[in-house]
Structure 1
Amino acid sequence: MALQSQDIEKETTAIVDRHEHREGSLLPILLDVQMQFGYIPEVALRHIAERLNITRADVHGTVSFYHDFRSQPGGRHVLKVCRAEACQSMGGEKLAEDVQTALGINWDETTSDGKVTLLPVFCLGLCSCAPAAMLDGKLHGRLDKANILALIEEMK
């Protein structure tokens, strides 16, 4: 069931009330909103800007700058594939193509069944075990086509 805009505003108001007294409150507010809804709804973005007396462009700029914030609902599973140099040098480009083909989506998209969101990231800190990916917060290294396809099958 989709939330109504008044429900989103009510929840966002409670979140802003908890943080607005803090210096630099925008990031903690956005983190809590994302935790609450799974993404930053446009209604919440507008409400946050109004409550903090900043422009919607400032809030949107922050949301779009940090890759962990989403402006659309994500899938039940989030697969982040490293795109940094160490992973690229160890076959990361081919691995990325294999993942996109297997899921039938591109970067920053969610499968039509809502199961998986695919995100590019630029270093997971697992350079010695490249290429690497993160599935639902769990790191996986030394990936190849067979074991990335096995991870994808586990999500289904």
Structure 2
Amino acid sequence: MALQPASTEIAAQAASIIDGMKDLEGPLLPILHGIQEEFGFVPQEVLPVIASKLNLSRAEVYGVVSFYHDYRKHPTGRHVLKLCQAESCQSMGSDAVAARLKQALGIDFHQTTTDGAVTLEPVYCLGLCACSPAALLDGEVIGRIDAEKVDEIIAEVRS
């Protein structure tokens, strides 16, 4: 995949973030978090900028972005719904919850609704096993999800 040069504005914003953190010990992860916070995802075109400023190869930077699932390569919806798919949640019905959410939203995991309202992502353990099945909606914990809560979540992300 050929990476396009960053636009001047994106490059300037990325450079500012990088310059503010490049002196940290192990700066790549904090820089990537900062860039994702700024843009909502890690634009592929900033990877060469990061690589150059940190004296890394583009492959090294891309490898880190692609390895960690929390780094997004595309913009997300206005809401991000993360549904736990770990064993405890599965044993308590997260597969049925996932199926209901996917059907109601018309998307699969790692997709965003056509209206840009919600992105659905799987996660593997939120540490809420006692409240299985569990999810995070825009960083807010939701436990013991059942059909009624699925309908409430859908109403919230559609409003």
Task: Normalising by structure 1, report the TM-score.
Answer: 0.94
RMSD: 1.1
Counterpart selection for 1:81 from 83, 104, 109: 83
Matching residue within 113, 117, 125 for 2:127 = 125
Mark the runs of 5 or more structure 2 residues left unpaired by the alignment. Answer: 1-5
TM-score after normalising by structure 2: 0.93
* Pairing partner for 1:20 from 1, 19, 22: 22
Instruction: Tell me, in whole angstroms, the C-alpha distance in 2 between the residues paired with 1:8 and 1:35.
Output: 13
Structure 1 stretches lacking a partner, 5+ long: none
Alignment partner of 1:47: what SS?
Answer: helix
Separation in structure 2 between the aligned mates of residue 11 and residue 151 of structure 1, nearest angstrom: 34
Q: What do the CA deviations read for 1:107-145 (whole angstroms, capped 9, x no partner)?
A: 111111111010000001110010011100000111112
Aligned partner of 1:36 in structure 2 is: 38
Q: SS of the residue aligned with 1:123?
A: coil
Aligned pairs (5 A) from 1:96-135: 96-135=98-137
Aligned AA for 2:141? L
How many correspondences in the alignment?
A: 153
Measure, in 2, the Cα distance between the counterparts of 1:87 and 1:133: 10
Q: Give 1:150's aligned amino acid.
A: E
* CA drift at 1:150: 1.2
**Equivalent residue for 2:67, pick from 56, 65, 68:** 65
CA distance in 1: counterparts of 2:19 and 2:145, whole angstroms = 44
Counterpart-to-counterpart distance in 2, 1:104 and 1:20: 41
> Kindly, what percent of the aligned residue pairs are identical?
50
